[in-house]
Amino acid sequence: MSDCIFCDILSGQLPSSVVYQDDQCTAFMDIQPVNSGHLLVIPNLHAQGLADLQDELAAHIFRVAKRLSTALRSSGIKCEGVNLFLADGEAAGQEVFHVHLHVFPAIKETDLDSSFLQGIHRSRTGQS
């Protein structure tokens, strides 16, 4: 897909810091991290939304995220918990229309951006 930043990363047209790659998906550091250690896991083939993924590929992406969560906890990055976030569709806040699962460490005193998490909560409850 010619106008997809993640496809450009996968093809080597744009730089990235890949931390994991197999024949189905790739994980790399987010260029605009919520906090240190923020990763993205994406399918290697373009898929705009979850409905475009085969069930097994979706499950594989989450299995990889689980492994990365374990790695984050033992990496030396401050990590008291892990957040997974996937926006599916514009109304959900998806900005890059290639499925991507955010994996980022959480710590109690971080400003992990409580506003980020509160914004998610507000959008789900209809609050503003």
* Residue tagged active-site, from 38, 60, 98, 100: 100
Other Cβ atoms less than 10 A from the Cβ of 17: the count is 10
The yes-or-no answer on residue 121 being catalytic is no
What order of strands is seen across the sheet that includes strand 18-21?
18-21, 25-29, 39-43, 101-106, 81-85
CA–CA separation, 60 and 96 (whole Å): 20
DSSP 8-state secondary structure symbol assigned to residue 124: H
Active site residues: 100
